[in-house]
Amino acid sequence: MATAASAPHTHVSPERIMQMAWGYVPPLLLEAAIRHRVFDILDQGPQTLEQVQKATGASARGLTALMNALVGLEFLAKDEQGRYALTPESSTFLVSTKPSFQGGFIKHSSEQLIPRWLHLNQVVATGNPVTPVNVESSGGEFFHEFVLDIFPMSYPAAQTLAAHLNYGSSGEPMQVLDLAAGSGVWGIAQAQASPRVQVTAVDWPEVIDITKKTSARFGLADRFRFVQGDLLDVNFGSGFHLATLGHILHSEGEERSRKLLAKTFAALAPGGVIAVQEFLVNPQRTGPVNGLFFAVNMLVNTQHGDTWSFEEIGAWLRDAGFRDPRLLEAPGPSPLILATKP
């Protein structure tokens, strides 16, 4: 049996810790490139520094440092002639004119997200956010700016849900309740997929203003009804065939989430379906890392928010009266959780 002295030496490197020390850099690099339209400009084809500088109006020194760092991160490529080009990843997700654009979330890094995280030491000590964003007094303005930028994150999953439900083109109206509607992405995808769909969108007044504008931009304003106020205070109505809760439970905490699920159950017609999208973690809370990061994000930004496992949310759904909690694979951070009202 090997002793501590005779056991093979395992090399341990500080490299990963040193990389983490610079962990704030990549999102800020991406944000700067997005705001200076670097990815949009390079979507036209490979270009030299001088061409990018002329198109953006930014400094040569700044663009050189920025774009070379993005080459190192493999968000840009650089050929032997010194021309910069997009990679498949940046071409797909970082060009603002494409529907798959994911840079909206990144655009909020320097002014809205990172400043709150700078108080993490204090938040860990107290267990309380400095300024919560999940209450209307402080969150209305935050989400007024934020919901449109995260539209592309949920749209593919919302389309997958619509295809799965397949309401078709004929028959009685299908009533959809879009809770914490934000940009209206969940209701919009359902209405686009079926002319039978009528949507009731519920959110704070500051956010409903955005929902109205977005539904109108998609030519769906006449298919939407709008309800303003806190989810637990307003009257949803009843007889809904589908209720969507896209990325809302994580900000509410367990107590409010359970109340919201019970209220949603009451609003659904028999046979109605609830669809929940969340950043799920496994029951042991050892992964996925995005879900674990987002739990800390909720610590920083909300009074009681967290991330949960499918098993936990499934138990809450059963307690509210739903049957058959199940997963639907969909593009996005996690599968959708579906359940049915008997």
d(CA 180, CA 48): 45
Distance from chain centroid for Cα 312: 20
In the predicted model, what is the mean pLDDT of residues 218-241? 96
pLDDT in tens, 67-99: 999 999 999 999 999 999 999 999 999 999 998
Supply the pLDDT for residue 213: 94
Q: Give residue-wise pLDDT tens across range 255-266.
A: 999 999 999 999
Nearby residues of 274 by Cβ (< 8 Å), 6 or more positions away: 242, 243, 244, 245, 261, 264, 265, 268, 317, 322, 338, 339, 340, 341
pLDDT for 107 equals 87
pLDDT digits (tens, 9 = 90+) for 174-197: 999 999 999 999 999 999 999 999
Distance in angstroms (rounded) separating the CA atoms of residues 282 and 277: 15
Virtual CA dihedral for 143, 245, 249, 142, nearest 10 degrees?
0
Give residues with Cβ within 8 angstroms of 187, minimum separation 6.
Answer: 176, 178, 181, 197, 199, 201, 215, 224, 244
Say what the pLDDT of residue 134 is.
61
Residue 326: pLDDT over 60: yes
Q: What is the per-residue pLDDT across 114-135, written as a single tens digit (0 to 9) for each?
A: 999 999 999 999 999 988 876 5
pLDDT of residue 5: 52
pLDDT of residue 271: 98
Mean pLDDT, rounded, of the chain: 93
pLDDT at 7 over 80: no
- The pLDDT confidence band at residue 280, using thresholds 50, 70 and 90, is very high
- At 198, the pLDDT band (50, 70, 90 cuts) reads very high
Rounded mean pLDDT, 303-332? 97
Q: Give the distance, in angstroms, between the CA of residue 155 and the centroid of all CA atoms in the same chain.
A: 10
**pLDDT score for 282:** 97
pLDDT for the residue 143: 65
Q: How much is the pLDDT for 142?
A: 62
Query: Token digits for 285?
Result: 């809370």
Domains of the chain (ranges; CATH) run 15-97 (1.10.10.10), 125-340 (3.40.50.150)
CB 221 within 8 A of CB 199: no
Q: Identify the CA nearest to 46 among candidates 71, 82, 100, 75.
A: 82
Which of the four pLDDT bands, split at 50, 70 and 90, describes residue 270? Answer: very high
Residue 162 · residue 193 · CB < 8 Å: yes
What is the average per-residue pLDDT within 135-152? 67
Percent of the chain at pLDDT above 70? 94
